[in-house]
Amino acid sequence: MSGLPQSSHALVTGGGRGIGREIASALVRAGATVTVLGRNRAVLDEAIAAGAAHFAGVADVADQAALSAAIAQAAGRQPIDILIANAGSAESAPFGKSDAALFRRMMDVNFMGVVHTVQAALPSMKGRSYGRIVAVASTAGLKGYAYVSAYSAAKHAVVGLVRSLALELANTGVTVNAVCPGFTDTDLVAGSIDNIMKKTGRSREQAIAELARHNPQGRLVTPAEVADAVVWLCGEGASAVTGQAIAVAGGEV
């Protein structure tokens, strides 16, 4: 399997923790120079200190101006070859209690955050006739889950964007794909576990089992498993793979 091109520069949004940090670390091990973006400077600096990244920038992906400035600063050090649009958030509520503000929050971070990120980095990739774009979506972008209609809608939008953009860029040397993790052992899922415990009175073990039951393998996915799929998509051996939404979910989808 072909690896990353030499001296690749990768940028990972939401790269300070969870899946994003694991992806950043895996790209470092694969030989890339990695810049992580996020909202919390201390978390990003800790990732750099741990060897999971080389540079960091502070920006909220829902703030287009700040995000574009941070990406421009990163590209000023070295053109961006690999773009990982990972930043996201999840809120759960019954549809009847999901107001317009909730839908806007989920769309702004999970969908428009991807749009803003790609729009900032794509012109340079097209100009150099090379690029790898990977959006971290979710199995919620491939199927539905109860009580997360806004989040699921946003992740479905990401998958649709990936499929359309891949066709538009098919002859440019830029590939566009999504990875769609199932329930993964991260801080984000820990919040869902706490929510289940609070609302149902179940134990932590029972709450974890409630999420793990969606996975035919009966477990949570690990961040490293998601990162491995991302690194493969970024490699030269995946040049013919574009427009795909690859589930990392133990056979759930």
In a domain, 187, yes or no: no
In a domain, 191, yes or no: no
Of all residues in the chain, what percent carry a pLDDT higher than 70? 95
CA distance 232 to 245: 14
In a domain, 29, yes or no: yes
In a domain, 194, yes or no: no
In a domain, 226, yes or no: yes
Give mean pLDDT in consecutive 10-residue pieces for the chain, a chain of 253 residues. 85 97 98 98 98 98 98 98 97 96 98 98 98 98 96 98 98 98 78 71 75 87 97 97 97 94
In a domain, 209, yes or no: no
Residue 178, domain extent: 9-182+221-248
The number of folded domains in the chain is: 1
CATH number (domain holding residue 96): 3.40.50.720
For tokens 């706490």, name the residue: 194
Of all residues in the chain, what percent carry a pLDDT higher than 90? 84
Single out the residue of 57, 167, 164 nearest to residue 117, CA to CA.
Answer: 57
- What pLDDT, in 10s, does the model give residues 154-168? 999 999 999 999 999
Catalytic residue positions?
A: 151
In a domain, 48, yes or no: yes
